[in-house]
Amino acid sequence: MFVAPYPFLSRRAPALPRNTANDVSLRVVLCLGSVITLILLLRTAMFAALFCLCGAVMSFAQDAAPDGNGDAKAEPTVSFFFARTGESLVRPYIGTIHYLEFFQTRKRWIYPDIGYVDFAHGNYREFFIGGGRTLIDNKIASWDQELEYVQATGPAAHSARYLQPWSMLRVRFTPKLTSETVYFGYFPLNDSAQIHHVIERAKLEYALKKRWKIGAGYAGVKFSGVPWVNKPLITTTISTRAGAFEFWLQRIPGGEQVEVRYALIHTSH
């Protein structure tokens, strides 16, 4: 508490008689407020965890069922590696993001999912780990749902910790026209963390050729007490044997950025 401008609150002022009953009442009110806040955070975390768990349980029996010969099917393990980097197109052309992620899928299960992200400032970074489940996968749509634990580090992070429900919905309108939407939220696990929501991408893409797609979309982030930060984008993706290279041109606060996204997928039995 900063009290220097107010002599009657400074340590040099003579002590005033205290009403201990009021002190006790204030402490009780503050304690109740802290308990209520903690209960709300725990309920939010419990809801997110139960949401993922229930979705997984509903389709677990289907995966566990044996084939016609009485033997469980041998499903491959698919490994994914993602790397992203971005740079502002406004002088002095500083970096905007560095991102690394690795995860594997086994049947419909997604685990482990581990990754790292920073925003090229040197004072904030995030590490995350988690897993999840593909809840829907058919000819029209697919829905992946994960739950991540996020640890923020760096001087600006104040050791913030989050529980992060992560969702991805893909829709196939035609063989060439598809959409992909990714949303995740940051739900605080300690006092230094703040709730916020991220639409990482909501894009519509069209395949001009087998290995070339173009598209446009939207991204945005919402912090508590602050309006949505809107970041529209256009994108093109080129697929090669060495992986897929996606290029974003995106409007961000203060100008534009170009972002390169690399994806490599490997299947093993």
Model confidence pLDDT, tens digit, residues 49-62:
444 444 444 444 44
CB atoms within 10 A of CB 235: 20
Q: Is the CB of residue 223 less than 8 Å from the CB of residue 210?
A: no
Sequential DSSP letters for the chain: ---TT-GGGSTTSPPPP--HHHHHHHHHHHHHHHHHHHHHHHHHHHHHHHHHHHHHHHHHHHHH---TTSS---PPEEEEEEEEEEEESSTT--EEEEEEEEEEEETTEEEEEEEEEE-SSSS-EEEEEEEEEEEEESSSEEEEEEEEEEEEESTTTTT-EEEEEEEEEEEESSSSEEEEEEEEEEEESSTT---EEEEEEEEEEEEEETTEEEEEEEEEEEETTS--EE--EEEEEEEETTEEEEEEEEEETTEEEEEEEEEEEEEE-
Alpha carbon distance 197, 263 (integer Å): 24
pLDDT by residue for the chain (269 residues), tens only, comes to 443 333 323 333 333 344 444 444 444 444 445 444 444 444 444 444 444 444 444 444 444 444 455 445 678 999 999 999 999 999 999 999 999 999 999 999 999 999 999 999 999 999 999 999 999 999 999 999 999 999 999 999 999 999 999 999 999 999 999 999 999 999 999 999 999 999 999 999 999 999 999 999 999 999 999 999 999 999 999 999 999 999 999 999 999 999 999 999 999 98
Instruction: Look up residue 33 and give its two tokens.
Output: 């407020």
Domain residue extents for the chain: 77-268
The CATH class given to the 77-268 domain equals mainly beta
- Distance CA(233)–CA(219), nearest Å, equals 7
Dump pLDDT digits (tens) for 117-169.
999 999 999 999 999 999 999 999 999 999 999 999 999 999 999 999 999 99
